[in-house]
Structure 1
Amino acid sequence: MSGRAMSNASESLRVVHVMRAPLGGLFRHVCDLAQGQHQAGLKVGIVMGEAPRDPVSVARLRDMAGACELGIHVMPMSRMPGLGDVTNLLRLYEHTRRLGAEIIHGHGAKGGAYVRVLPRLAGGFRFYTPHGGSLHFDAKSLKGRLFFAAERLMRGRTDGFIFESEFGLRTFFEKVGDPIAPAIVIHNGVTEADSVPVSSEEDAADFVFIGELRALKGVGTLIEAMGLLKDAAHLRIVGSGAERECFEAMARKAPHNVRIDFMGPLPAREGFALGRVVVLPSHHESMPYVALEAAAAGVPLIAAHVGGVPEIFGPDASRLVAPGDPAALASALAHATGNPDDMRLLAARLRQRVTTDFSAARMAEGVTEFYRTRLDPVTRCNSGKAANASGVRFREGVSS
């Protein structure tokens, strides 16, 4: 369906996206989605739990201002449940009622909880995209059991689940159960700007990591792997995070043949140019934008076999590395430095796959079409057919 056709069918829709932290892939997803929906004629607003702090996110939010006719609002949210959530729910209730929101779309564990716990008197259909979020918890841990119990309770307050990877949908079934409400898989996508090739700088490092500085992202595993290399190697780490000092301490203990630089946060494409090979060593992911963006830009990529990354690599998924395994990662790093032609061929195959199959425009169209299948009493009876028309995978809320 073209953007114009979708606009004619949906131009009156008023959509509010709710999330906690404006950073990382979740924030990129919400911005791409809001921008695409705005271009299709929808009226869009964003509610977030904090103002962005790093310059990359600040710039992205500034660029979004013109697309958010319903405004961008900050409503402080803690990461974990607390008494402040009660006040926030009242504020969100008043806010969505005042905006006349027809669609309230929660992103991540916190945004999804707010949207679904919100009293029905606030109006609007409730949609939820987990983005990994609580799905990364161990189902046997106390925290995991509590979060998954809450997810089971909130299924009945959800009008539609939108997963950005097959991995996300599969994990929900395994850890939570049947979504009950209709569920759909719509992959994250890249824009035409993302597809412009990026060339490495003349003094580029051998490897570059781009992302949040957290143990979950495998930064420690990457530093350990660098220490196992026999030849001289240079790594640049791009990003920010609360655990930076810990990783800097690890880097100072690296052997003399290894150089590790911390560059701070930068736009992804600027970061790509700082290294010859992008490394994504995450322990957990859903559908990481860094992998999509690197592949679209034609930059050689080493990644861990986690989350939806195999869906990006497709036939080349056998090239992925076991997560949390410094020795396996070191082997992949050594192969990359010794076989640049092989890495360039892999990069060319990934670029062709991503630019063909992962589109931000189609993502926005697919999500909006799914909204329509839930809003329209006629298409709700035939929602599988309508969703498949957008080139996305649809499943009714029953296991199969």
Structure 2
Amino acid sequence: MAAAPPLKILHCFRNPIGGIFRHVRDLVEEHSAAGHQVGILCDSTTGGAYEDALFETIRPRLALGLTRMPMRRAISPTDMIALFKSYRHIKSLQPDILHGHGAKGGAMARAIGSVLRVNRYRVARVYSPHGGSLHFARSSLAGQIVLRLERFQERFSDAIVFVCDYERRTYEAKIGRPRPHSQVIYNGINEAEFSPVALEPDAADFMFIGMMRDMKGPDVFIDALARTERRIGRPLTALLVGDGPDEDSYRTMIAESGLGLRLKMQPAMPTRKAFALAKTIVVPSRAEAMPYIVLEALAAGKPVIASRVGGIPEVLGEDSEALAVPGDADDLSRIMTAAATQPDWRARIMPKPASFKAVFSAPVMARDMIGLYRELLPAATKRAS
């Protein structure tokens, strides 16, 4: 039996920051190593030196190239310009798979893929929400518009891929049962990350690492740290690591809380470098899909405290004592106190490494994704003919 031919895969997304970018980088690494041709199309106005360096690490893997152009977050008349330029570029690449990530990337991939299909070109259109539109409430006018647009775009989709079962359930509750094929494929961590990270001698007690915006909960972390100090009766040390639009407000909050000498802020850095700087990772998000930081920390042997949001309970366990009520600094502080004062807390509460790796590894994620891509191509060929 002849081996299946390699695929040409193009990933479209807007924001090259955070979980979506990490997800795409892992797929690029795994799929290019397996002989597939992969490319990226994303925004050119977002990200900084750190993200530029990450792009350089995967550029040799991008047989279909790295293309960046301005893409605004909100719907804008300039979208038509980006869409037209993207269409011409994608048509020249002749991909087998157009995989859109997030609301903007998903809309672009499905629109362009559908135009190509009208012209009888074989291409499969795949969409991964990654939270995105699913953060909107059905009760708001903006939410009604966005969620109805998501439903409308299903007719231009060959498959919808969810990164966790929570994301699938949220989609069904807010938008409806997916009409195209849908599948849960968990985010995964690459093999090199499944090794412990040694602590620096002056490691802090706790760390928040992520985007500096209220949805991620740095303000909850700051409040919880102050409460934990009062509970324990001694000073604690902590770090906030990351960049984002609300940095200045957190600096002010730290100063007003009297934590300035014990809670430091540092810019975004590689996660494993950051892990050496603190004993316990805290993920106090108000909303998430499947945050990579939880997976990365567990793979590095770090204990994790997190909000009970998104797919995090699917990783830590639905009944895990490491899960806090979202947005509740007092509940988060209760768990931080236990982690800081109970010597056996980590061994009792954290997932077992072998069972964790069997589900949340990049090779498993990449294998399942390629399997889906190949299933879609015969259908795409049939409908395009």
Task: Please list, as runs of the form range in 1=range in 2, the aligned pairs for 1:219-298 lying within 5 A after superposition.
Answer: 219-229=218-228, 230=230, 231-255=234-258, 259-298=262-301
Structure 2 unaligned segments of length 5 or more: list them. Answer: none
Choose from 110, 114, 123 the match for 1:116: 110
The alignment partner of 2:262 has SS state of strand
Q: Identical aligned pairs, as a percentage?
A: 36
What's the CA shift string for 1:190-234, capped at 9, x where partnerless? 111111101221111110111000100011111111222313111
The alignment partner of 1:376 has SS state of helix
What's the CA shift string for 1:255-296, capped at 9, x where partnerless? 369721001111111111111100000011111110001011
- Runs of 4+ in structure 1 off by over 4 angstroms are 377-380
Question: For the structure 1 residues 378 and 136, does the alpha-carbon distance in structure 2 shift closer, same or farther, using more than 3 Å as the test?
Answer: closer
Partner of 1:388: none
| 1:71 equivalent in alignment to 2:65 | yes
Question: For the structure 1 residues 307 and 256, does the alpha-carbon distance in structure 2 shift closer, same or farther, using more than 3 Å as the test?
Answer: closer
Partner of 1:100: 94
Partner of 2:17: 23
Partner of 2:355: 353
Task: Please list, as runs of the form range in 1=range in 2, the aligned pairs for 1:45-64 lying within 5 A after superposition.
Answer: 45-50=39-44, 53-64=47-58
Q: Does the 8 A contact of 1:127 with 1:159 survive in 2? A: yes
The alignment partner of 2:344 has SS state of helix
Kindly provide the amino acid, as one letter, of the partner of residue 135 in structure 2. Answer: H
Q: Does the 8 A contact of 2:322 with 2:349 survive in 1? A: no
Kindly provide the amino acid, as one letter, of the partner of residue 64 in structure 1. Answer: I
Q: State the alpha-carbon separation in 1 of the partners of residues 153 and 251 from structure 2.
A: 41
Q: Does the 8 A contact of 1:18 with 1:48 survive in 2? A: yes
In terms of mean alpha carbon deviation, does 314-323 or 82-91 score higher?
314-323
TM-fit CA distance, 1:253: 1.0
Choose from 367, 374, 377 the match for 1:375: 377
Kindly provide the amino acid, as one letter, of the partner of residue 44 in structure 2. Answer: E
What's the CA shift string for 1:19-70, capped at 9, x where partnerless? 0011111100001011111112111110011266334322221111111101
Partner of 1:209: 208
Question: For the structure 1 residues 53 and 120, does the alpha-carbon distance in structure 2 shift closer, same or farther, using more than 3 Å as the test?
Answer: closer
When normalised by structure 2's length, the TM-score is: 0.92
Structure 1 unaligned segments of length 5 or more: list them. Answer: 381-400
TM-fit CA distance, 1:321: 0.6
Q: RMSD in angstroms over aligned alpha carbons?
A: 2.0
Choose from 31, 39, 44 the match for 1:37: 31
When normalised by structure 1's length, the TM-score is: 0.89
The number of residue pairs the alignment matches comes to 373
Q: State the alpha-carbon separation in 1 of the partners of residues 343 and 276 from structure 2.
A: 16
In terms of mean alpha carbon deviation, does 240-249 or 352-361 score higher?
352-361
What's the CA shift string for 1:319-355, capped at 9, x where partnerless? 31110001101111111111133124434x3433322
The alignment partner of 2:280 has SS state of strand
TM-fit CA distance, 1:140: 0.9
